[in-house]
Amino acid sequence: DAKTTQPPSMDCAEGRAANLPCNHSTISGNEYVYWYRQIHSQGPQYIIHGLKNNETNEMASLIITEDRKSSTLILPHATLRDTAVYYCIVRVAVEYGGATNKLIFGTGTLLAVQP
Amino acid sequence: GAGVSQSPSNKVTEKGKDVELRCDPISGHTALYWYRQSLGQGLEFLIYFQGNSAPDKSGLPSDRFSAERTGGSVSTLTIQRTQQEDSAVYLCASSWGREYNEQFFGPGTRLTVL
């Protein structure tokens, strides 16, 4: 799976948009970009994933550059409850032949939402 | 609906003892995963089940670690002769299977080996 690079930490004011970047310059054509987050003392939580088109759901938006070498997770109106470590993971969505769907977590970005 | 549950939530044991950690996945999820999270290593994959078989055990750190899954549901992770470096939060996740890759995580079991 492709390696990802994220800033170790970011701050965001409550109510403002949080934009979390991720670089994945070695991504392959069949690899998706996934985002998970982990709030303190909880298990990771899926946020969103995409291949090449921008995606939006009730939690966030995912913007993937045209060359797919980087992406940005956008939380449109950050709240204090969004303070968490955000993980960008790049991997194939479906593997066959008994292969695994394991997630390989990097170090993520600690997003601190300030009141 | 009910999410992934794990028990116990906390476990303190003495070095050399065996421990069993339990995971109840979301009903109907065919895929089950074990991860662990420790201060020095971050979040790391241990083992993956599809049904009752484990096609990927590549993350198990030693032969002291084993896991099984019965009835395509409950899974048990066993650590024999625990060592202090086994201290970590052990997380279980489940998903619908290969076509659905959103993994739902449980709250974890915090294991402390004294």
Q: Does B91 touch chain A (CB under 8 A)?
A: yes
A44/B108 CB distance under 8 A: no
Average model confidence (pLDDT) across chain B: 92
- Between A and B, how many CB-CB pairs are < 8 A? 63
Q: Apex CA A58: angle with CA A18 and CA A95, to 5°? A: 95
Tell me the shortest Cα–Cα distance from B25 to chain A, in angstroms.
14
Please give the Cα distance from B39 to B62 (Å, whole number). Answer: 19
User: For B15-62, what is each residue's pLDDT tens digit?
Assistant: 999 999 999 999 989 899 999 999 867 899 999 998 999 988 999 999
Q: Does B13 touch chain A (CB under 8 A)?
A: no
Written as tens digits, the pLDDT of chain A (115 aa) is 668 999 999 999 999 999 999 999 999 888 889 999 999 989 999 999 999 989 999 999 999 999 999 999 999 999 999 999 999 999 876 555 455 678 889 999 999 999 9
With contacts defined as CB-CB under 8 Å, which chain B residues touch A42? 105, 107
Determine contact, residues A30/A85, Cβ cutoff 8 Å. Answer: no
Peptide bond into A21 cis (omega under 30): no
Per-residue pLDDT at A53: 86
Per-residue pLDDT at B107: 95
Per-residue pLDDT at A45: 96
